[in-house]
Structures are given as structure tokens and as C-alpha cells.
Amino acid sequence: MNPLVTPSWLSTRLQDQSTIILDATLPPVGVTPPIDTHARYLDKHIPGALFFDIEQLSDHSTPLPHMLPTPEDFSRSMSALGVGHNSTIVVYEQESVFSAPRAWWTLRTFGAQHVHILDGGLRAWIEAGLPTESGPVHHTPANFNATLNPHAVKNLSQIKDKLATHHQVPEQILDARSAARFNGTAPEPRPGISSGHMPGATSVPYTELVDDGRLKPAEKLRELFLAKHVDLDQPITTTCGSGVTAAVIALGLEVAGARDISLYDGSWAEYAQQPDSIIEKTR
């Protein structure tokens, strides 16, 4: 199923009580001063949209960024926000494609069945001449029962197991970071972490999946993955710096027709800090 929906599709459902709209915009990395995406949400958002704060909704018991919370914590957060388990959920972001796929993946991983992404985000909505509003939005508390899909998420131990056998059983690990960080020719944004990549990983910078603020069409995505020798019929794990843009790759894979997709939640922020991790560089 293609999870992307159009502004016109969403506009016909604005008054539908079972449709929940979420602005899931994270501040872009490396921009100084940081952009306050919540303030931008308050200034302008799709009518009725709630703010899905990826950072606030993550696991704060670990120093790793953006990690999945427990199902119990996520259930409480979504229920309080007003997101029901059986709601039709539409996620968008304010600019381009960056963090909305992480919210889409998180909701799906915790069992939400009807999760979509607004193709083109808020910009496409405004360009279509559709209305916006400002100020906070509050919904009546709902009932969200999160159940973790263990197949959708990989941990460090599972990644190490994959890498230990990748010479005998080739593993498909797609890295969404920039080519320079993957190659080890540019530094990581997090201090004290070496750049480079996991043995056998394939560089798929998430920006290559995006064209003019939208995810590329399915056929273009298939061509991109084929050019990188990715077998869409075999299991694929995505990774990045902190587990956010890995979800862009996961979204692109689903649109392209892959079915066995998982995401390494700790990603490079976790892997590269382990003293026994093998880090390869391309000079």
C-alpha cells in the first residue's frame, strides 16, 4: 500500500472525527540558531492538526537520541494527545521530507493500522489553496493501545549478529546519512563519534529519494534502489545517524514495493560508540 495521500484527499476529511492530523516536524540538523518548529506549528498549521513532538515522545531513559519509548509510555502519550488506535492518521511536516516518516514509522511500529503521510507536506497544502489556522489544538483524550512489532525494529545485538555473518549471508543495510559521512570524509554532527560505515552497508543518502520537497514516484525509487543493487524482495534494514532519516528510506522502500523492512533504532549514534564496532572508511 502506498502510504502517501494528496492534499485534496485530506481536505475532504477535515471534518471527519476519526481522522487525526499530526505535524511531526523536527528542527533541521546543523542550523544555527535552531529552528523552533513548534512555534512555526502554532503560527500556521492544517486545521485541527496536533503537534507530534518526536523528541518529547522518545525514550528519555537513554542518552541516545529519538529512541522508541516503551509501548506503555507511547500508549499514554497518544491517548492523552487524542490519537485513537483505530484513527485514520495523517502525518505531515512543514518543509520537504525529513522527520514525518519517523512519526509514520513509529505509529506503525506500535500497531496503528491506518497511517498516511501528506505528500508534499504543509507547503503542498498551501500551494493547493487550502486553509490553515494558528494557535494550539486540543483533542478529547482517546484510547491508544500500543503493541510493539518486533520485526520492524532492530537493536544493536541484532545488527552485530547480521554483520558477523554478512560474508556468508549478504545483509542489506541501507545507510541514509550523507555520502561524505558514510565514507568517513566528513565528521559526524555528534561530538566524539567517528564517521564511516558498517561493513557491507550501502550508502543511500535520504536526500536522493526526494525531489522538490516530495518523495520521488515509485518507479523512480525502484530505479534508484536497483542502481544501488538493492533487492526489494529480500530483507532490508535501514539506518542513519539517529534513526530519523532511516525512516525516509523505509518509506521509500515501501512505496517502491519492498515488504520486509526493518529500522535500526540506535543507528550510527549507538553503533559508532561501541569499542568493538568495526568502522570502515572509503578514502
Please list the active-site residues: 240
The cell for 5 is 495521500
Say if residues 283 and 255 touch (Cβ distance below 8 Å): no
Q: How many CB atoms lie within 10 A of CB 155?
A: 13
Residue 89: strand pairing partners: 20, 115
Quote helix, strand, coil % in the chain, to nearest 5. 30, 15, 55
Q: Dihedral of the CA atoms 270, 276, 282, 283 (nearest 10)?
A: 110
Q: In what side-by-side order are the strands of the sheet with 261-264?
A: 153-154, 261-264, 236-239, 172-175, 202-203
Q: What is the DSSP letter of 128?
A: T
Say if residues 55 and 66 touch (Cβ distance below 8 Å): yes
Say if residues 102 and 243 touch (Cβ distance below 8 Å): yes
The cell for 109 is 511500529
